[in-house]
A and B are shown apart, each in its own frame.
Chain A
Amino acid sequence: MIDILQLLIFGIVLGGIIALGAVGVSLLFGILRFAHFAHGDMMTLGAYLAFAFVAGLGWPLLAAFPLAVLLTVGVAVLIDQVLYRRLRRKAPVILLFSSFGVALMLRAIIELVWGPDTVVYDSAIQLPWRIAGLRIKPDHVTIVIGAIVLVTALHLFLQRTRTGKAMRAMADEPDLAQVTGINTERVVIWTWIIGSALAAAAGIFLALDTRLVPLLGWNLLLPVFAAAILGGIGRPYGAIFGGLVIGISTEMSTLAIAPVYKPAVAFTIILIMLIWRPTGLLRGR
Chain B
Amino acid sequence: MSLLVAEDIHGGYGGVDILNSANLRVDADEIVVIIGPNGAGKSTLIKAVFGLVPIRRGTVTFDGNAITNQRPDVLVARGMSYVPQERNVFPTLSVTENLEMGAYTRTDDYSADMAAIFDIFPVLAERRRQPAGQLSGGQRQMVAIGRALMVKPRLLLLDEPTAGLSPKFVDEILERITAINQLGVAVLMVEQNARRALELAHRGYVLVMGACRIEDTGANLLANREVGEAFLGGRAAND
Contacts and interface: CB of A to CB of B under 8 A. Distances in A.
Given A162-B100, A166-B104, A172 B90 contact: yes
Interface in A123-180: 162, 165-166, 168-169, 171-173, 175-180
A169 B100 CA distance: 11
Given A165-B97, A179-B84, A173 B90 contact: yes
Contacts of B100: 162, 165
B104 A176 contact: no
A182 interface: yes
A158 B76 CA distance: 25
Contacts of A181: 72-73, 76-77, 104-105, 151
A169 B93 contact: yes
B50 A176 contact: no
A169 B52 CA distance: 19
Contact of B93 (A162, A165, A178, A235): A165
Contacts of A172: 90-93
Interface string B95-115: 001001110110000000000
Interface residues of A, number: 18
Interface of A is mostly: helix
Contact of B72 (A162, A178, A235): A178
Contacts of A180: 76, 101-102, 104, 147
Interface of B is mostly: loop
B87 interface: yes
Contacts of B88: 176
B82 interface: yes
Interface string B56-89: 0000000000000000110011000010100111
B93 A179 contact: no
A175 B83 CA distance: 11
Contacts of B97: 165, 168-169
A180 B102 CA distance: 6
Name the interface size band of chain B. Answer: 20 to 34
Contacts of B102: 180
B52 A179 contact: yes
A280 to B, nearest CB: 13
* Most-contacted residue by chain B among A165, A177, A181 (CB, 10 A): A181
Given A177-B101, A181-B76, A181-B104, A169 B84 contact: no
Contact of A179 (B50, B77, B89): B50
A168 B92 contact: yes
Nearest to A178: B72
Contacts of B101: 165-166, 169, 177, 180, 182
A176 B84 CA distance: 8
Nearest to B51: A179
Interface in A190-233: none
A235 B93 CA distance: 12
Interface string B18-55: 00000000000000000000000000000000101000
A179 B158 CA distance: 13
Contacts of B93: 165, 168-169, 172
Nearest to A284: B92
Interface of B: 50, 52, 72-73, 76-77, 82, 84, 87-93, 97, 100-102, 104-105, 147, 151
28 contacts: A162-B104, A165-B97, A165-B101, A166-B101, A166-B104, A168-B93, A168-B97, A169-B90, A169-B93, A169-B97, A169-B101, A171-B92, A172-B90, A172-B93, A173-B89, A176-B84, A176-B88, A176-B90, A178-B72, A178-B73, A179-B72, A179-B82, A180-B101, A180-B102, A181-B73, A181-B76, A181-B105, A183-B104
